[in-house]
Amino acid sequence: MRYLLDTAAFLWWVGDSRKLSERVFRLIQHAENEMYLSAVCIREIQIKAQIGRLDLPTPILEIVERQYAENNVHILPIQLNHMYAFNLLPNHHPDPFDRTLIAQAIAENMPIITNDPMFAKYPVETIW
């Protein structure tokens, strides 16, 4: 099965996996599951690191490349069909990064691994 990681879930997976729920940890570890990270999450992490709100041990692009090589984490680019889905979203969540992620999950029919309760206001499956 394919799953879309939100920013926090990805950072916790690569940094402090104790913050993940047991269910999420099992899903990530299961070899048959495919984990995806949106390009929008990468950009969000870059911005937070640049403005000092996030301290990373290595640059995010190196972390992403390592996760691709070691754990086959796929990058989900932002595509036009995602922006059509974004256009249809009600404005429940003020964060444009999260709204883009939600639109991608809807367009790709993928559950999102997140602990953000705001995601549940949208027609997308959330897992935590």
Q: Is the pLDDT of residue 106 over 90?
A: yes
Q: Nearest Cα to 114, choosing from 15, 36, 59?
A: 36
Q: Half-sphere exposure (CA, 13 Å, Cβ side) for 126? A: 18
Query: How many domains would you assign to the chain?
Result: 1
Residue 93 has pLDDT above 90, yes or no: no
Give the domain extent around 99. Answer: 2-127
State residue 17's pLDDT score: 85
CATH number, domain of 104, equals 3.40.50.1010
For the cut 90, the answer to whether the pLDDT of residue 94 exceeds it is no
pLDDT class for 16, splitting at 50, 70, 90? confident
pTM value is 0.92
Three-state DSSP state, 122: coil
Beta-carbon contacts of 96 under 8 Å, excluding residues fewer than 6 positions away, are: none
Q: What is the mean pLDDT of residues 39-61?
A: 95
